[in-house]
A and B are shown apart, each in its own frame.
Chain A
Amino acid sequence: MIQQVGESIPVLARFRDGRFEPRKFLWGGGVRIVERVTGRWSEHDGQYKIYHFAVMTDTGSCCELSLHTRHMVWLLDRVLAAGG
């Protein structure tokens, strides 16, 4: 039920009130709409920072995305399919 992905993906993000979060992303040939950000955390990688998000998409799956500020690249880290 957990798929490790680790792919670079295009993400549409919203920046508001000093925060940002992913809203849509393209993966597997389709646009996934982020319905809810369920978790967020961050870590340092040298002097750079990696922002992680757990999101629920319109397909009912939970995905973990991360933005690496060193390369300004979004990654789809893993997909946790609903249902178990």
Chain B
Amino acid sequence: MSNDDRKTGGRRAPFLRGTPVGRDHDREPDVSRVIALIDMNAFFAQVEQICNPSLRGKPLLVGGDPKKRSIVAAASYEAKACGVRSGMSYYEAKKLCPDAIAIEGDSRKYLDYCYRIVDIFREFTDVVEAFSIDEAFLDLTNVQRLFGTPERICGCIKERLVEDLGLTCSVGIGPNKLVAKMASNMQKPDGLTRIWPEELPHILWPFPVEELTGVGRRMKRRLARMGISTIGDLGRFDPAVLRGQFGVYGELLHQWANGIDESPVDPTCFQTVKSVGHSYTLPRDIDDTETARWFIFWLSDRVCRRMRRDNYVGRTITLTVRNSDFLSFTRSLTLPEHTSSVHTLRDRAMLLYRRNVPPGMKVRLLGVSFSHLKKETPEQMELFSNERQRRAVDAAVDAVKDKYGDSAITFATLIGRPRGMIRRKIGCFLTSSEKGKSDSPLARPPL
């Protein structure tokens, strides 16, 4: 077995075996893997249009408070037709689409709808992996005898989503997660696309290489220098050369371009928390350390509250800063011991801030996070230490918050908040591996 074959388990892309090309949707239930990716189209905008029918058919921008500077978290397809994309500032979006209606999103609303969507998926298969708040992989391999072909199952799911929630989605079906994801992007909105293994070269290979999951702007430039501009170019390229250029990642890229992806649909993968963080776009740029300290304390309090609630302690602290030119950087440090102390997080994050933010730099966004997490285990503590007192205070504060809500009690320092600087809701970022926190759909027990 060659080195390549060892790394791919001896498997090659099925279409390279010379299988005849063609479509046959009436064939017998397939015994090989069948994966579906269901993508809720313009999810936040759709939910707002359901709740307020007068918004239907209109260009809609959903994000932070439109009266303050915020970014677009989701745009309706009517707004997308004008060139609006998620992540743009409201200002940019309004320039492209002056008639667009901007409304403040409500993450609680979207999360609740997400729970109900996942509940519908679980009526058809228990192997559901939430990829993000609006996308999920479903493993349909073992449920075809119960519910019929993958197209039929996904058709039923689409009907249920419309009937029960009024939502449309795009579905991609393929032999693995990679192909399902790419298939879901082919018909938007409200599409259903299946790619058979033998169709992969005809369908995927003509696409630009940046359409391949895992190829970003920098990788695209590096591949272009090697004469690779399409997925087909990458799939036909010598994997040894790719490995020489990009290491193991080059080999993976070659496999992905050939439609090979053996990663399982893992219903538990998001229950493994790797980091916990919060970030906040400030209503106006700040350049003074005291205000930054207030926000870092405020964010640290929220991060540590979640850490304690889920019984985690962390070692690595990361500070994220975005300046007024939208340039972002992160700086990290690792502690000698794991902790969930808000004071440690705040103080170390401030240390990073002082070391890395030059005086006078206008700061637009701040974020703090803990990573290198582990579950807190009972350990012998010193009887008369500050740590023991701190934990007792934390436990009492958490008990009050558990009963009366997170706003019931806070640090005295955080009561005198900077004037006009706090919105009602806090931005929260989830790392790809952190989406299984307790309010994630997949943190709920399966039906």
Contact = CB atoms under 8 A, between A and B. Distances in A.
Nearest to B54: A82
A77 B50 CA distance: 17
B52 A83 contact: no
Contacts of B401: 46
Contact of A70 (B103, B402, B404): B404
B58 interface: yes
A45 B109 contact: no
17 contacts: A2-B104, A38-B52, A38-B53, A39-B47, A39-B50, A39-B51, A39-B109, A41-B108, A42-B112, A43-B112, A45-B406, A46-B405, A47-B404, A54-B52, A62-B51, A70-B405, A80-B55
Max chain B C-beta neighbours (<10 A), residue from A45, A64, A70, A83: A45
For the residues of A in contact with B, the DSSP-based class is strand
Nearest to A41: B112
A6 B239 CA distance: 61
B54 A48 contact: no
Contacts of B54: 60, 62, 80, 82-84
A16 B219 CA distance: 57
A55 B427 CA distance: 27
A64 B53 CA distance: 13
B447 interface: no
Given A47-B404, A48-B405, 19 more contacts: A2-B103, A38-B50, A38-B51, A38-B53, A39-B109, A41-B111, A43-B111, A43-B112, A45-B405, A45-B406, A46-B404, A46-B405, A46-B408, A52-B108, A52-B109, A54-B52, A80-B52, A80-B55, A84-B101
Nearest to B99: A84
Interface in B388-406: 401-406
A52 B404 CA distance: 18
A84 B109 contact: no
A55 B54 CA distance: 12
A42 B113 CA distance: 10
A7 B402 CA distance: 25
A1 interface: yes
4 shortest A-B CB distances, which residue pairs?
Answer: A41-B112, A54-B51, A39-B51, A45-B405
Nearest to A40: B112
Interface residues of A, number: 22
Contacts of A70: 404-405
A56 interface: yes
Contacts of B405: 45-46, 48, 70
Interface of B: 47, 50-55, 58, 101, 103-104, 108-109, 111-113, 401-406, 408
A62 B402 contact: no
Nearest to A38: B51
Contacts of B408: 46
Interface of A: 1-2, 38-39, 41-43, 45-48, 52, 54, 56, 60, 62, 64, 70, 80, 82-84
B53 A46 contact: no
Nearest to A63: B52
A84 B66 CA distance: 14
Contacts of B104: 2
Contacts of B403: 46-47
A62 B109 contact: no
Nearest to A81: B54
B404 A62 contact: no
Contacts of B404: 45-48, 70
Nearest to B102: A2
Nearest to B107: A43
Nearest to B402: A46
Given A2-B103, A41-B109, A47 B402 contact: yes
Contacts of A54: 50-52
A62 B405 CA distance: 28
Contacts of B108: 41, 43, 52
Nearest to A52: B109
From A41, A52, A70, residue with most partner B Cβ within 10 Å:
A41
A83 B55 CA distance: 8
A71 to B, nearest CB: 11
A2 B51 CA distance: 13
Contacts of A83: 54
A5 B101 CA distance: 19
Given A41-B108, A42-B112, A43-B112, A64 B51 contact: yes
A1 B51 contact: no
Given A2-B103, A47-B402, A70-B404, A62 B113 contact: no
A82 B101 CA distance: 12
B410 to A, nearest CB: 14
